[in-house]
Amino acid sequence: MGYWLMKSEPDTYSIDDLKRAGCEPWDGIRNYQARNMIRDDMRVGDKVLFYHSSCKVPAVVGLARVASKPYADPTQFDPSSKYHDPKSQQDDPRWLLVDVEYKRHLQQPIPLSELKEHSELADFQLVKRGNRLSIFPVQKAHWDFILGLE
DNA sequence: GCCAACGTTGGC
DNA sequence: GCCAACGTTGGC
């Protein structure tokens, strides 16, 4: 069982949007580190912390689930998409995604500022400087501690 | 392969 | 809007 955090800008795609959709292809990942983790480490059933970034109150806001194996992100082949990658080949797709399924909102969002107050989370990737990955694994101990704050 | 310039992310 | 921290690009 894997545990992940996935960031999204709520102005672009929020936890409420995912709730409405139920399940959605998580497209637009264009970072090789993130791509490699999707490709090599994501499994159906893995659990996901849904995080709102670049907004008034950056916070963990809900729970989701990996709902598919990795597959080629179709937006890389779509010239009208902002995620279009003209260098990616159909027979050798550069970018992958997984489907993400809504589980639930947290009872209350847990703001980044609150996460930073806990020494238990000192090694949590989200609170580290220079953290820019939009997807990264979460240690089980961190996962349990964060949900214990709910 | 090095490195400067540039672009992006994301908190504040 | 500012800035730090990266990642990417391209000249050499």
pLDDT by 10-residue block (mean), chain A, 150 residues = 96 96 95 94 97 96 97 92 88 94 97 96 93 94 96
Q: Is the dihedral of CA A91, A68, A98, A73 positive or negative?
A: positive
Say what the pTM is: 0.93
Non-local CB neighbours of A43 within 8 Å, separated by 6+ positions: A1, A2, A66, A69
Write the DSSP symbol of residue A55.
S
pLDDT at A30: 94
Residues with CB under 7 A from strand B: A 7, 9, 53-55, 58, 112-113, 116, 131-134
CATH class, A3-149 region: alpha beta
pLDDT at A67: 97
Non-local CB neighbours of A121 within 8 Å, separated by 6+ positions: A115, A127, A142, A145, A146
pLDDT at A91: 87
pLDDT at A7: 97
CB A32 within 7 Å, strand C: yes
Q: Where are the domains of chain A?
A: 3-149
